Amino acid sequence: MAGEENDKAEQQARMEQQLKMYLRISLEPDAYERLMNVRLSDPRFYTTAAQQVLGLYKKFNRKIKEEELLMLLRSLRGKKKESKITFK
């Protein structure tokens, strides 16, 4: 039973590494870093955004810039208001 869990974890880690490799190919460096930040804050949203990024890369066959990634992320979030942190 523990062996199955290890195999599953290893397979998931390999899939994540492969996804990151494809994202590095698909995104400009600044956009890649931004998407990795999204991954840390919201893993589910990251997965959705990563799938969209790969689809766009296939469609347009060029790297996606940070501004384009931001537009994509905003459209995926919908009309959810952006959080702002104010320091006083």
For 22-34, how does the pLDDT look when each residue is reduced to its tens digit (9 = 90+)?
999 999 999 999 9
Domain positions in the chain: 2-77
Reported as type and span, the H/E element at residue 25 is helix 2-26
Confidence of residue 48 (pLDDT cuts 50, 70, 90): very high
The CATH class for the domain spanning 2-77 reads mainly alpha
Report d(CA 61, CA 13) in Å as an integer: 27
Q: Above 60 in pLDDT, residue 81?
A: no
Q: What is the pTM of this model?
A: 0.79
Query: Rounded mean pLDDT of 48-57?
Result: 95
Reported as type and span, the H/E element at residue 48 is helix 43-60
Report d(CA 21, CA 24) in Å as an integer: 5
